[in-house]
Amino acid sequence: PPSLSSTVAPPSLPPYFIKGSIIQLADGELKRVEDLKTEDFIQSAEISTELKIDSSTVERIEGSHTSPNFAVVQFSVGEHRAQVSVEVLVEYPFFVFGQGWSSCCPDRTTQLLELPCTKLSVGDVCISLTLKNLR
């Protein structure tokens, strides 16, 4: 078969999802990625001058047309319920409100990153970022 064209997502996972990675919160506190809680993101966004947290509800999860290693996740974002689709590696973790790290293929996430992870499902509400209104 012909080679696949490039996809919108990076070919490998970013290093900060590996268990033990040190994350700096907006107030300067350092935490390991696996220890992050919903409140850490909320409090960091409150301090941030540019970023705010949106609630992004998973509306659909399907396999990518370009590669079996990728999935397309469709979100309903924010109060206006804007529809946004992202193509990600199946092991790419999202942070679900009140629950923690979740991915389309949690076994792979745990295997590759050692990051404790649950299965991302339709209806899950993920933390996403958007810009604060700058007027």
Nearer to another protein, 3 or 39 (CB): 39
Which CB atom, from 88 or from 105, has the smaller least distance to another protein? 88
- 129: its two tokens: 């970022």
Number of residues forming the site for another protein (CB under 8 A): 36
**DSSP 8-class letter at 4:** P
User: For residues 107 and 114, what is the distance between their CA atoms, to the nearest angstrom?
Assistant: 10
Closest approach, Cβ 3 to another protein, in A, equals 27
Among residues 53, 38, 56, which one has the least CA distance to residue 120? 56
Nearer Cβ to another protein, position 2 or 131?
A: 131
Q: What three-state secondary structure class fits 54?
A: strand
Does 44 sit near another protein (CB under 8 A)? yes
**Rule CB under 8 A: is residue 74 a binding residue for another protein?**
no
Calculated CA dihedral for residues 100, 114, 52, 62, nearest 10 degrees: -80
Interface residues toward another protein, by CB under 8 A:
14-17, 21-26, 30, 33, 36, 40-41, 44, 48, 51, 53-54, 56, 75, 77-78, 80, 82, 84, 86, 94-95, 126-131
